[in-house]
Amino acid sequence: MIDETHNPWTTLSTKAIYQNPWITVREDQVLNPKGGEGIYGVVSMKNKAIGIIPIDDEGYTYLVGQYRYALNEYSWEIPMGGGLIENDILESAKRELQEETGFTAAKWTNICRLHTSNSVTDEEGFVFLAEELTAGETAFEETEELHIKRLPFKEALEMALTNKITDAISVAGILKAAFILGVK
């Protein structure tokens, strides 16, 4: 039987190397599971990752396109952003949907919890299905130059399956939503 609560790592010391309003990068001196000494670098997030899959009354969804600096390429994604760790994730999702698409939604379903890259970061993400949409005004942040694309949900699924969408939260959320919605 596996003891899923057992941590085979020993942290000898930890030191913050860098931080900004979104992340802290720390260096831990560790003993690995076999007892060897080493260094483990961890990117600790100050926000939860929040993704939203809006579905309108006609079965269409909305993607957000933007140039991603770290990737040095353009990326189509579900609307998403960060919510402070101490904030309610649903309230953060509502804010992000309105900021990036202008929509509000009457029906919300939390469909996915995930860790984006659990070998180097503690980032925890959540994806919501947002339905019964009402249009409104966007409120892009200073760092955002976004383009909104309305398309049938099945096309978004196809984009995820053919690597036209590569963002991990978007791919996981779209696949989970397809399962829930019965879209193939």
For residue range 40-93, list pLDDT tens digits in order: 999 999 999 999 999 999 999 999 999 999 999 999 999 999 999 999 999 999
124-134 and 104-115 as β-strands: parallel, antiparallel, unpaired? Answer: antiparallel
pLDDT at 142 over 80: no
Q: Which one-letter amino acid corresponds to residue 144? A: E
Backbone angles phi, psi at 27, to 5 degrees: -120, 120
Q: Going by C-beta distance under 8 Å and a sequence separation of 6 or more, which residues neighbour residue 150?
A: 56, 60, 61, 62
Superfamily of domain 47-181: Nucleoside Triphosphate Pyrophosphohydrolase (3.90.79.10)
pLDDT at 113 over 80: yes
pTM for the predicted model, two decimal places: 0.91
Angle at which helices 168-181 and 153-161 cross, to 10°: 130
What percentage of the chain exceeds 90 in pLDDT?
93
Please give the average per-residue pLDDT across 107-113, as a whole number: 98
Tell me what pLDDT residue 145 has: 84
- Bridge-partner residues for 110, per DSSP? 128
Average pLDDT score, the chain: 95
Annotated domain spans of the chain: 10-45, 47-181
pLDDT at 20 over 80: yes
Q: Output the DSSP codes for 84-136.
A: ETTS-HHHHHHHHHHHHH--EEEEEEEEEEEES-TTTB--EEEEEEEEEEE--
Closest CA to 174 of 146, 152, 147: 152
> At 139, is the pLDDT very low, low, confident or very high (cuts 50, 70, 90)?
confident
Please give the average per-residue pLDDT across 105-115, as a whole number: 97
Please give the average per-residue pLDDT across 31-44, as a whole number: 95
Which tokens belong to 133? 């949409």
